[in-house]
Amino acid sequence: MSTRYDLNRAEILRVSAELFARSGYHGTGIADLGTAVGLGRGALYHYIGSKEEVLFAISSRQLAQMNDVADELALTEPNPERRLRGLARALLRNIAEHRAEWTVFFREYHALTGDRRARVVAARERYESHWRHAFDQGVRDGVFTLLPPLMIKGVLGMFNYSYLWLTADGARTPEEIADGFLDALITGLAAPNP
C-alpha cells in the first residue's frame, strides 16, 4: 500500500524526470526541482537527500521494473521466441509511458558516481543478459542461428533507441511495434525466394 510519503516522492521523481529531460541533469538545480513541485528546500529534503539521489531513483526505477518482468518471464515462459516477445513488448510499452525517465536514464546515468553508478550498470547488464539467454536458448533449441558478435547490443539498441520517437498514443501500439521489429529480426529482410 502506498503511503502519502511514497506518493509525494513518486510525484517529485516524475516532475524531476521531466525537468532533467528538458534541461539536462547538470542544467537543473535543486531549487528548480523545489519550484516545480512547490516545496521549499527543507520540505524537499524530507523526500530526497540530493540531486544525485533523484537521478539514481529515476535511472534505476524503470530498469528495475524491466528486470522484474524479465525474471518473471524466465520462470514462466520456456519458449525463447515468446520470451523475447514478452521482453520486447514490455520494454516498448514502458518506454512509451515513461519517456522522460528513459531519456534521463540514457542521457544522464553516466553522471552518477560510485556505488550508485555501479548499481545502475549492473542492472543494465543483468537486463541485457536476459535477452542474451533467450537468444542462446533459441540457438540450443535449434530455432535461432548463432548471433554475430555484439549483435545483442545491436538488438537492444534497436529497441532502446525508441525513447527518441516512441509514443503511447501513436497509430500503432508499442506492442505492435515490438512484434514488427522482432518478426523482422527473426525472419530477416530478404525477400522470400519465389
Q: Which residues bind a copy of itself (CB under 8 A)?
A: 23-27, 106-108, 111, 135, 138-139, 142-145, 147-151, 153-162, 164-165, 171-172, 177, 180-181, 183-192
How many CA atoms, within 13 angstroms, populate the side-chain half-sphere of residue 2? 8
Torsional sign, CA 114, 115, 119, 120: negative
Smallest gap from Cβ 157 to a copy of itself, in A, equals: 3
Query: Residue 185, Cβ neighbours under 10 Å: how many?
Result: 18
Nearer to a copy of itself, 43 or 121 (CB): 121
Contact 135, 80 (CB under 8 A): yes
Closest among 104, 120, 2 to 51, alpha carbons compared: 104
| Cα distance between the two ends of the chain | 59
In this complex, which beta carbon is closest to a copy of itself, that of residue 22 or of residue 46? 22
Q: Which is nearer to a copy of itself, 75 or 189 (CB)?
A: 189
Q: Which is nearer to a copy of itself, 46 or 172 (CB)?
A: 172
Q: How far is the CB of 76 from a copy of itself (least distance, A)?
A: 23
For 40, 61, 86, the CA distances from 35, given in Å and listed in that order, are 7, 23, 40
**Minimum CB separation from a copy of itself for residue 131, in Å?**
12
CB of 71 to a copy of itself, least distance (A): 24
